[in-house]
Amino acid sequence: MDKGASPIDHMSRQMRGATPGAVRAQLGRFGFSGDRATQLVGSLSGGERARLALALITREAPSLLILDEPTNHLDVDSREALVQALNSYSGAVVIVSHDRHMIELVADRLLLVDGGRVQEFDGTLEDYTELVLGKGSGADAAEPTGAKLDRKADRRAAAQAREQNKALRSTIAAAEKDIATLTADRSRIERAMFDPGSAEAPERDLTMTELMKRRADIEAKLEAVEARWLEASQALETQAAE
């Protein structure tokens, strides 16, 4: 990365032709909003640079990411930020890592690579440790017991919760975009109503009655979108508290 450039400089180079809003939106998903988008890369921490790298490589919404030891050289806060970013990512992620904490937080499937074969591992990381240390036979450790099934179910439930989390965040983001658009439309109409001389082309030739009707329509749409935003936000807060 260019230490003398900012995150928004880097993203703008990668997203040529995109609007400034789209560039900032991509950065904002990874914590680079406001002034943080314009500070120099040279002043960023290792974790922040890792998040910026992830923002850059996911700019075109790939369906699959392959990460090799992504938490190497990251501090605790940076690792947590990376975990949150991965859990918010809508595609599939294949991770090769020795970071047990990260794996437990983001992985819902474990694969056992052994003897030239790859198979799904139904146990937990504790079971894998026992397998490696020879405390259980390969067959016994790989076969799910009642407890292993419960732990696997927990992983599946956590994965489903993350999917619901992504859906809610997507709904919130879409609602916020609609609110911004509708609010701008309302402001434009109100300007035409109270200062006709500054009215823009779409509203310039409308009568006061037509302007009032359009404003009422926008208010109704805005109320519905705000209700949708509030419902999704409350659901996300409830999910986070569970």
Question: What was the pLDDT predicted at 139?
Answer: 45
Question: How far is Cα 34 from Cα 137, in angstroms, rounded to an integer?
Answer: 54
The DSSP symbol for 205 reads T
Q: What span, in angstroms and rounded, lies between the C-alpha atoms of 189 and 103? A: 52
Give 171's DSSP letter. Answer: H
Predicted pLDDT of residue 230:
87
The label of the residue with tokens 């805005």 reads 222
C-alpha–C-alpha distance, residues 144 and 217, integer Å: 58
- Residue 52 in contact with residue 30, Cβ under 8 Å? yes
- Measuring CA to CA, which residue among 103, 79, 98 is closest to residue 158? 103
C-alpha distance from residue 88 to each of 29, 77, 98, 107 (Å): 9, 17, 22, 13
pLDDT for position 240: 62
Name the nearest CA neighbour of 30 among 13, 53, 55: 55
Q: Report the predicted TM-score, pTM, of the whole model to 2 decimal places.
A: 0.47
Per-residue pLDDT of the chain (242 residues; tens, 9 = 90+): 899 999 999 999 999 888 888 898 888 877 788 888 999 999 988 778 878 888 898 888 788 889 998 888 777 777 777 787 788 777 889 999 888 888 888 888 888 888 889 998 888 888 888 887 875 544 444 455 555 556 666 666 666 776 777 777 778 888 888 888 888 888 888 888 888 877 777 777 788 888 889 889 998 998 898 888 888 888 877 776 66
